[in-house]
A and B are shown apart, each in its own frame.
Chain A
Amino acid sequence: MRRSHLVSLILVVVFTAASLAGVLSAGWTPVLGVQLQGGVEVVLRPADEVSDEQFERAIEIIRNRVDAIGVAEPDITRQGTQVVIQLPGVKDKQRAVDLIGQTAELRFRPVLQMFDPTDPEQLSVIEEAMNQGQDGDIGNENSVETTEPEIPDSRASLSDVLTPPQEDDVSAMVALLGTSGQTGFVLAPAHVTGEVIEEAAATFQGQWIVNVSFNDEGATLFDQMAAANYGRQVAIVLDGVVESAPTINAEEFNGQAVISGSFDEAEAKNLALVLRFGALPVEFERDDVRTVSATLGEGTLRAGVIAGLVGLALVGAYMLLYYRLLGLVAICSLATSGAILWSIVAWLGESRGLALTLAGATGIVVSIGVQVDSNIVYYERIKEEVRRGRAVRSAAAGSFRAAFSTIIWADLASLISAGVLYQLTTGTVRGFALYLGITTLIDLAVSFFFMRPLVILVARRLVGERPGRLGLSNMAGGVIR
């Protein structure tokens, strides 16, 4: 009996220390939410009914766009009919907001020239061609800038050549890269956009092909383009990336086109999806857009941390005063739970990109109460038994069962509420529910594997028959004076 308690205690301490050391040595720290470090949070909702497939595709595209901005810990999740995008710590907040949820179009652009983006000489040639082309197409706005790149011998870098996203207009000549980034394309203005596509599907006919059908307007436009570009390539461009550049093999399609090439199944299906849904297959409404400045976020974080520490100190002091040695056990339990919680939060942040939100942090503060309560329920039971005349050591061992049963049933109610809230709500409330659930589970484990053996050991070794050490002095019955 005594040995099993000791083993359990040692295991918990080793486990906690190991997980904390692991997390710290891996350099993992909790990812802070938008409200705690500044950043952008956007909630999008489709303007119309959409299929699951469209929705998933849209989220995929948003994720790609966010990756392109370069946010350290983006969190993009579908919650019911909404997409919640959290970009903590993002630098240019306004641009991030603009980029997300924008419905860029799918465009068909005739290919003028292809180039190798790693070859500086080719780049210089392309750059010159682009500058001339743009002068012709766009005119006045660029005339000031053109003086700069014309400095002789300046080696053109790739970023000078490529068209930046904000200048990627339908009617402009552009220079873009393919999906792999290995091939550059100089592309003419677009004649046809994704709106005119009615249906696109990947099928297998000896090889994987994609069938595309256009609506009436699209059929005319596409035939015009085909006639002008017969035998040449036409690029399918999405969000500034050339998805595919098939060669036009007919002058008349009558609203039906077949794209073939050396596709594998996944490529063909992906291309069909791109064609069918255009860029964002869904038009989104911005339900909630929030930007938090870094200073405000840091202020909230600091306030929360200080308040949390002060609160913990007060609770610790109260427990020590009231329960003496048992209070110390309570403080150790809290510290253990805290260390485990820190590891879990850091791990969630690292592996799942799940940030600790303000609501989540509140859930944790609240859980201090729940955690301490598990101690109190047990200690009050012990005191009651001792008052009835039972020896401290046997009271400590004997009253755990009843106390733990109370703790389980009460914690189960917390878990039910956490589960329901997590399943049925979004955003703030959901974050709260998650951490409430996690801390409740930790509470159960720590109560059983840590608090119980420690209390029993303390009662045996340190208290003996001096209940004063448990805050039980002057006990009823006149036994102790």
Chain B
Amino acid sequence: MNFSLKAMYRGENSWDFLGVSRRVLAGSAIVVLVCVVAIFVRGLNLGIEFEGGGVWEVPALSQVTTDDLRDAASDAGMGDARVQRITGGEDIFRVRGELTPDVSAKSVVSKLAKAARVDAETISTRAVSPSFGDEVAGKARRALIVFLILIALYLTLRFEWKMALGALVAVAHDIAFTVGIYAIFQFEISPATVVAFLTIMGYSLYDTIVVFDRVKDNERSLSAKSRMTYPDLANVSLNQVIMRSVNTSITSVLPVLSLLVVGSLFLGATSLQEFAIALLVGLIIGSYSSLFVAMPVVSELKGRESHWAEQARSAGVLGQSNAIEDAAAVLAADRYDRSSPPRPRKKGRKR
């Protein structure tokens, strides 16, 4: 394989994606397994929206300590309050505690304001009833199921069920990986993160559809007498879309990266951080899975179809799988045999 950026830029790349796909798939499967184990072993750090409770964000003055606030919180009836100081950008204390019936939200605010020596109006609060989280989670789950069913139907209608399956496997892979990262590093999960997970699913699908669309397109333009095997077809298609995938990933990651770096490190907006981490991880993994998970799965499934199995057999008898450059040339010839004949390509380049 010839990993040259220049070749990629010129569109001369001819990488054997499918040749390495089994090893890459196995690697992905192991990573996903690790993530799933992490989710079960370490559990998820759920935000108050899912567990219920209260959060208060208090502007921090330099002479006030977290202990002052912890005392104020326990004074107001919350003995188990957790107080964090969040620096970087605006300096704030974040107090999180459980809301029992004898804790009055009002007295918590006034006591915290007094301890932190700030005006009560400058404190941001959040109080969530325990049942709310169940509802949020329940709704998200229902929306997810409906979404997956519709997408499966859509992809089956647009492409075929094998591709729908491949796309869903890739989506599952991305979600497992991202949620796994949250479990491993114990990042807090809020509705904002759920939004990010959903975005990742959408993005991953979007990416996969672009790849599949190209494969279908190429498949249609194959002439009947073509000797191409399905992995060859997939390989050519992947090589054709890789530059688009790379560029799209870069241009989608740039805004998210700037949201993460500029937004939360320099300006200290923690609410932006919640989105950005999940999005960043998810976007990258989504592009990867379209190329290295979705397509190989489809290729495995399609390779068993009688027509493609026949092709593969005859290629085996002849003792050659088409070199990717040749396959691309064959494809181009099939496609453009009428209107504009392709310029002769250099053939026989060794891989």
Please give the residue numbers on chain A whose beta carbons come within 8 Å of chain B beta carbons, in ascending order.
35, 38, 43, 45, 80, 82, 93-94, 285-296, 299-300, 302-304, 306-308, 310-312, 314-315, 318-319, 322, 358-359, 362-363, 365-366, 368-370, 372-373, 376-377, 380, 383-384, 387-390, 402, 405-406, 409-414, 416-417, 420-421, 423-429, 432, 436, 474-477, 479
Residues of chain B within 8 A (CB-CB) of A384 are 11, 240
A306 adjacent to B191 (CB under 8 Å): no
Residues of chain B within 8 A (CB-CB) of A80 are 139
> Top 5 A-B pairs ranked by shortest CB distance?
A369-B252, A311-B255, A303-B267, A303-B269, A311-B258
Residues of chain B within 8 A (CB-CB) of A388 are 332, 336, 340, 342-343
B256 adjacent to A303 (CB under 8 Å): no
Q: Tell me the B87-138 residues at the A interface (CB within 8 Å).
A: 89-90, 92, 105-106, 109, 120-129, 131-132, 135-136
Given contacts A287-B129, A420-B143, contact A372 B154 (CB under 8 A): no
B124 adjacent to A293 (CB under 8 Å): yes
Which of A82, A300, A302, A413 is close to B206, meaning CB atoms less than 8 Å apart? A413
Please give the residue numbers on chain B whose beta carbons come within 8 Å of chain A beta carbons, in ascending order.
10-12, 49, 57, 59, 89-90, 92, 105-106, 109, 120-129, 131-132, 135-136, 139-140, 142-143, 146-147, 150-151, 154, 158, 191-192, 194-196, 198-199, 201-203, 205-206, 209-210, 213-214, 217, 240-241, 243-244, 247-248, 250-259, 261-264, 266-269, 271-272, 275, 279, 283, 332, 336, 340, 342-343, 345
A287 adjacent to B11 (CB under 8 Å): no
A427 adjacent to B191 (CB under 8 Å): yes
Residues of chain B within 8 A (CB-CB) of A417 are 147, 151, 198, 201-202, 205
B139 adjacent to A426 (CB under 8 Å): yes
Contacts A410-B213, A414-B202, A424-B143 known; 4 new A-B pairs at CB < 8 A: A296-B92, A376-B247, A421-B143, A432-B195
Which of B196, B251, B272 is close to A315, meaning CB atoms less than 8 Å apart? B251
Residues of chain A within 8 A (CB-CB) of B122 are 293, 295
Please classify the interface of chain A as helix (H, G, I), strand (E, B), loop, or mixed, using the class held by over half of its residues: helix
A300 to B191, CA, bound (A): 17
CB distance from A69 to the nearest CB of B (A): 15
B125 adjacent to A290 (CB under 8 Å): yes
A–B Cβ pairs within 8 angstroms, 10 of them: A285-B131, A289-B105, A293-B122, A303-B263, A307-B263, A314-B258, A362-B192, A369-B203, A387-B11, A432-B198
Residues of chain A within 8 A (CB-CB) of B127 are 286, 288-290
Most buried by A among B120, B271, B340: B271
Which of A287, A290, A427, A479 is close to B131, meaning CB atoms less than 8 Å apart? A287
A420 adjacent to B257 (CB under 8 Å): no
Most buried by A among B139, B192, B217, B251: B251
Residues of chain B within 8 A (CB-CB) of A420 are 143, 146-147, 150
B191 adjacent to A94 (CB under 8 Å): no
A368 to B203, CA, bound (A): 12
CB distance from B167 to the nearest CB of A (A): 9
Q: Which residue of B lies closest to A288 (CB)?
A: B128
Which of A296, A310, A402, A414 is close to B124, meaning CB atoms less than 8 Å apart? A296
A358 to B193, CA, bound (A): 12
Q: Which residue of B lies closest to A287 (CB)?
A: B132
A311 to B209, CA, bound (A): 25
CB distance from A371 to the nearest CB of B (A): 9
Which of B109, B136, B247, B345 is close to A322, meaning CB atoms less than 8 Å apart? B247
Given contacts A322-B247, A424-B143, contact A303 B255 (CB under 8 A): no
Which of B11, B123, B210, B248 is close to A369, meaning CB atoms less than 8 Å apart? B248
Residues of chain A within 8 A (CB-CB) of B332 are 388
Residues of chain A within 8 A (CB-CB) of B125 are 289-291
Which of B124, B151, B258 is close to A292, meaning CB atoms less than 8 Å apart? B124
B272 adjacent to A303 (CB under 8 Å): yes
A151 to B338, CA, bound (A): 102
Q: Which residue of B lies closest to A383 (CB)?
A: B11
A287 adjacent to B191 (CB under 8 Å): no
B254 adjacent to A424 (CB under 8 Å): no
A57 to B59, CA, bound (A): 40
Residues of chain A within 8 A (CB-CB) of B250 are 318
B251 adjacent to A416 (CB under 8 Å): no
A413 adjacent to B262 (CB under 8 Å): no
CB distance from B135 to the nearest CB of A (A): 7
A314 to B332, CA, bound (A): 35
B124 adjacent to A413 (CB under 8 Å): no
Q: Which residue of A lies closest to B123 (CB)?
A: A293
Most buried by B among A43, A318, A365: A365
CB distance from A447 to the nearest CB of B (A): 14
A296 to B272, CA, bound (A): 12
Q: Which residue of A lies closest to B201 (CB)?
A: A417
A417 to B336, CA, bound (A): 37
CB distance from A376 to the nearest CB of B (A): 5
B147 adjacent to A366 (CB under 8 Å): no
Q: Which residue of B lies closest to A419 (CB)?
A: B150
A377 to B92, CA, bound (A): 44
CB distance from A93 to the nearest CB of B (A): 7
CB distance from A77 to the nearest CB of B (A): 15
A365 to B106, CA, bound (A): 36
Q: Which residue of B lies closest to A35 (CB)?
A: B271
Residues of chain B within 8 A (CB-CB) of A376 are 244, 247-248, 251
